[in-house]
Amino acid sequence: MTLLKGFARPGAVTALFAVLLSVALAVGSTTYAQGPPHRVYGTGQTAGDTITVSIGGVECGELTADSSGNWGPLDIESSNACAPASGSVINFAVNGEAATEAGAWASGGSPPSDGFSAATGYGAAGGGLTVAAAAAAAAPAATAAPAATAAPAPAPPATGNAGMATAAGSSLWLVLGMGALALGLLAAGRTVISSLKS
């Protein structure tokens, strides 16, 4: 019975509510994976060439070669409309014609360097993307051009919590809970002091 009388007092009820709310909200947080994008770029194109990058037939982005023949970079985020996933084949087209080169999407990935000290991007040893129709015309009729193989995607590094963003959406509720706790403790203290005086 005495316990029920204690909880009937507004200060004690508020303090109990604040403690429970604060504990519940202090523990809860949400973590979202945010891996780095895959970056595509290249060189060796004709100035003004339009390079279209796609995955599974869905365009990820379009770039224009500058006066030096360089194109990009284009960062393909995991949230891009082309819905990349680890290992997805990245296809290229030059001025609307499919290129023979391809890549594999990986979080934090980038083009192969083709053995040069400076990365040259996608393209045959920095010589630019090869249009499939032009490659077929240049090849002798008796032999077929070898199929391009995608470079294997590098394994993502073990980073622990790096690359993870923590959403502290509970911080507002935690502040409100702590405020309610302070009010409850103040009310409980006044109740105790007033009972001691009488």
Summarised one tens digit per residue, pLDDT across range 132-190 is: 665 555 555 545 555 556 566 666 655 555 555 555 555 667 777 778 878 878 887 78
Whether 36 shows a pLDDT value over 60: the answer reads yes
User: Looking at residue 151, what is its pLDDT?
Assistant: 61
- Quick one: average pLDDT of 113-117? 45
SS (H, E, C) 89-146: EEEEEECCEEEEEEEECCCCCCCCCCCCCCCCCECHHHCCCCEHHHHHHHCCCCCCCC
Ramachandran category for residue 115: left, alpha or beta (phi over 0 → left; psi -120 to 50 → alpha): left
8-22, 39-53, 78-92, 109-123: range with lowest mean pLDDT: 109-123
Please give the pLDDT value at position 69. 87
Residue 19 inside a domain? The answer is yes
Asked whether residue 108 is domain-assigned, the answer is yes
Which pair of structure tokens corresponds to residue 50? Answer: 């339009």
Which pTM value belongs to this model? Answer: 0.52
The residue among 138, 158, 180 that closes a domain is: 138
43 and 86 housed in the same domain: yes
Which residues lie closer than 8 Å to 85 by C-beta, 6 or more apart? 78, 105
The answer as to whether 150 is a domain residue is no
Q: Would residue 105 count as lying in a domain?
A: yes
Domain assignment present for residue 8? The answer is yes
Domain boundary among 118, 138, 158: 138
- Residue 113's nearest CA partner among 155, 146, 61, 151 is 151
Listed residues 138, 156, 184: the one ending a domain: 138
List pLDDT tens digits, range 77-92.
Answer: 989 999 999 999 999 9
Query: Is 162 part of any domain?
Result: no
Distance CA 11, CA 4 (A): 13
CATH number at residue 54: 2.60.40
The DSSP result for 52-102, as a single string, is: EEEETTEEEEEEE--TTS-EEEEEE-TTSTT---TTPEEEEEETTEEEEEE
Residue 161, domain member (yes or no) = no
What number of other Cβ atoms are within 10 A of residue 122's Cβ? 28
Residue 111 near residue 43, CB atoms below 8 Å: no
Q: Which residue has the higher pLDDT, 37 or 174?
A: 37
Q: How many domains does the chain have?
A: 2
